[in-house]
Chains A and B, each alone.
Chain A
Amino acid sequence: MDWFLQQLINGLALGAIYALIALGYTMVYGVLRFINFAHADVLMLGAFAAYYLAPAVAKVFGPATVPTALTVMVLSAAICAVIGMLIEFLAYRPLRHRPRLTVLITAIGVSLFIEYTGQHEKVFGAATKAFPTLLPQKEIIVGALRCSSNDLVVVGFTAVLLFAMWYIVQRTKVGMAMRAVSFNEQAASLMGVNVNGIISFTFAIGSALAAIGGIFFAMRAPGIEPLMGVQPGLRAFIAAVLGGIGNLPGAALGGVVLGLIETFFGGMPGLSDYRDAIAFALLILILLFRPAGLLGKMQMEKV
């Protein structure tokens, strides 16, 4: 039972990170109907932004304090938001009305470009770097259960951000415009919606969330390197598809499910080597029975 609860805690913390990253995939998919492969690399850039900012910010607020962590996160998120908008403007906008596969390959090209540029010795270098401690960390022990204070922060923060996203999309004017673009881009533009602006905004938000997800991921990981985004990015992508791509609560649910699968199977002796295979196998099974994901709506095809 203790083992079960322990894995549940770990799984939720990991799942929350996947959920944050998956939100970016799903929001971009919602407005543009394509998978932004470079999202995983924006996550890595967020972690690196935090890595370079942390010493400077620590001089002002002191190392490993709450204001330091918050400032670093906000600044990294802002940097990534700008990078996200730039990627959209330079690489995706010229291809807006081209076949989706073209855009997809461009996205893969952007992703490879960021990864290989990052690996160059004059940029980040390929070696793994130790991520600075951003938050004061405490171990909370209840009975036989242990939980790092970071895990609680991650889960709490994700819950707040999820709510904020839901609020933006469902209750604000910008969100209404986003939904309108997602529903019918042409009609939205005829109704006076600035389609390009909305798409830029979506990329900015998605990339900011990826930066925060990347920082949280880096806090748990042994270190950061230019390819660190690939694995969590892939998981988050699965999470987004699992939940029903384009669906915000679905992305959150998918992230948590994937985090739980990973920690439960990773914690079982003999199965840990297979945990990726199991995650994919479950995904395939779920898609066989619900081809549009857990929360996605099946669309009837019109002839």
Chain B
Amino acid sequence: MRGKEKIFLLLAIVAAIGVSLASAAFNRYYLGIAIDCGINVILAVSLNLINGHTGQFSLGHAGFMAVGGYFAAKLTLVFGPMVPAAAQPFLFAGTLLAGGIGAALAGLAVGVPSLRLKGDYLAIVTLGFGEIIRVIFQTSDTFGAATGLTGIPTLASFAWTWGLAAVTVYVVASLVNSTYGRGFIAVHDDEIAAGAMGINPVRYKVTAFVIGAFFAGIAGGLYAHHKAVISPGGFDFLKSIEIVVMVILGGMGRTVGVILAAILLTILPELLRGVSEYRMIIYSLLIILIMLTRPQGLFTLSKKKAA
């Protein structure tokens, strides 16, 4: 871990808090989009650890997000009324953490089958896990069944969202750049060679799934406390696809590109609101065109392989 990254982390958190203090001055609509961007940055960067750096193919990120979102929201709804106003931030931090840990456990459950499966088969299994998680929430009365949970206090401020986004970027970037983290890239490049060099691919893959899922859970918690309402429909397979598209457009394994792509893909549908009839048609056409013209990712300047 280099000093440069720590400074980045500190600066980002200070900036997030600073902007957040002034947030009353901003248009609420723009502020909402900015928070959406932060949540998507966390999702995309955490998925990038699994899909980009470690070279696995997960289509179940929305499932991890759902676990985190539901756990955190339920805890806030249950304990929120018992806690004095001054302690609310601590409660919020606690529920987010609990949601993240819940999602990490789900990630462990998904990571284990990934030991044996590759490529398309892994994709379908992760997709299956995501759908199973969604069906469980959809049929569970504790979690509001098909209507989901409503009336969640909107605690996810700009500072929380972007502060945690900075933490996510910091953890993933410094992990991948550490001596230990080279193992992820080795597994990505050639699993058999990595194994022959004494790197345990199984351990790295499971680690990637658990850490990726943890941050997806945190993002889910933020999402629940930003929208105030969550329902199973919001965590379907299309949501997972959306996150995968962010990672691929950003360039697999390129953190900065992925952050920019996450922001761009959050803002783009909003910009197209003026032509709302054609909005999603243009969005899908853009995905096709970008893939045809810049398949290495939108923000990748050189063709050099990213480390």
Contact = CB atoms under 8 A, between A and B. Distances in A.
Given A101-B248, A303-B192, A108 B128 contact: no
B292 A112 contact: no
Nearest to A301: B192
Interface stretch (A174-182, A186-194, A276-284): A276-284
Nearest to A105: B248
A234 interface: yes
A74 to B, nearest CB: 30
B131 A102 contact: no
A234 B237 contact: yes
A288 B193 CA distance: 24
B116 A283 contact: no
A77 B121 CA distance: 29
A277 B120 contact: no
B138 interface: yes
Nearest to A238: B124
Interface residues of A, number: 43
Interface string A79-118: 0000000000001001100111110011011101101110
Contacts of B57: 101
A101 to B, nearest CB: 6
Given A112-B287, A277-B132, A280-B128, A105 B244 contact: yes
B278 A288 contact: no
Interface in A252-286: 273-274, 276-277, 280-281, 283-284
A35 B241 CA distance: 14
A274 B136 CA distance: 8
B283 interface: yes
A297 to B, nearest CB: 13
A115 B285 CA distance: 12
Given A109-B284, A113-B281, A281-B128, A102 B295 contact: yes
Contact of B284 (A98, A112, A234): A112
Contacts of A108: 241, 244-245, 287
B286 to A, nearest CB: 8
Interface string B263-292: 000000000000001101101110110011
Chain A interface, DSSP helix/strand/loop, else mixed: helix
Interface string A10-31: 0000000000000000000100
A117 B285 CA distance: 10
B21 interface: no
B178 interface: no
B113 interface: yes
A276 B284 contact: no
B138 A291 contact: no
Interface string B86-128: 0000000000000000000000000001001101110111001
A241 interface: yes
Given A116-B281, A287-B121, A98 B295 contact: yes
A280 B129 CA distance: 7
B176 to A, nearest CB: 19
A215 interface: no
Given A273-B139, A276-B131, A241 B284 contact: no
A193 B128 CA distance: 38
Contacts of B252: 101
B121 A291 contact: yes
Contacts of A238: 124, 128
A105 B245 contact: yes
Contacts of B248: 101-102, 105
Contacts of A234: 237
A106 B241 CA distance: 12
Given A121-B277, A287-B121, A287-B125, 5 more contacts: A94-B292, A99-B295, A108-B245, A109-B287, A238-B128
22 contacts: A35-B123, A91-B288, A91-B292, A94-B292, A98-B295, A101-B57, A105-B248, A108-B244, A108-B287, A109-B291, A112-B287, A113-B284, A115-B284, A116-B281, A116-B283, A116-B284, A238-B124, A273-B139, A277-B131, A277-B136, A280-B132, A303-B192
